């Protein structure tokens, strides 16, 4: 029984913690690999943004696609060119 308990403790220790700790090298890659909401076509100022106006592309330094609900229905306060990141300042947020 002692051997079983010791083996279980070793497995538990080998699993590590649930906290995700990124190495400095991974931090740089994180931004490159994540996606952001971009304009699928040119969005003129004054246009109410729809799902058809948006797509998700790399890099990930803009608005996350998880927040698409915060973008759809907003009015563009300035023109956003096709393929460029949709930024909060483009929506007056």
Provide the residue ranges of all domains of the chain, joining segments of one domain with +.
2-90
Q: CA nearest 33: which of 5, 63, 59, 10?
A: 59
Q: What is the DSSP letter of 47?
A: P
Q: Tokens in use for 26? A: 């991974």
pLDDT, one tens digit per residue, over 28-54 is: 787 778 899 999 999 999 999 999 999
Position 68 confidence tier, pLDDT thresholds 50, 70, 90:
very high
Judge whether 60 and 31 are in contact, CB under 8 Å: yes
CB burial class (10 A; 0-12, 13-18, 19+) of residue 35? middle
Q: Where are the alpha helices (DSSP H) in 1-93?
A: 2-15, 24-33, 68-71
Q: Tokens in use for 58? A: 């790399």
Please determine, looking at this structure, whether the domain spanning 2-90 carries the CATH number 3.90.25.10: no
19 or 69: which carries more pLDDT confidence? Answer: 69
pLDDT at 23 over 90: no
pLDDT at 13 over 80: yes
Judge whether 75 and 92 are in contact, CB under 8 Å: yes
């Amino acid at each position: 029984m002692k051997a079983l308990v010791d083996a279980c403790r070793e497995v538990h220790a080998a699993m590590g913690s649930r906290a995700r700790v990124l190495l400095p090298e991974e931090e740089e890659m994180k931004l490159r690999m994540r996606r952001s909401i971009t304009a699928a076509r040119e969005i003129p100022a004054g246009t109410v943004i729809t799902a058809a106006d948006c797509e998700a592309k790399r890099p990930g330094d803009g608005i996350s696609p998880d927040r698409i609900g915060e973008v759809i229905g907003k009015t563009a306060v300035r023109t956003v060119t096709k393929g460029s990141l949709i930024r909060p300042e483009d929506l007056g947020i």
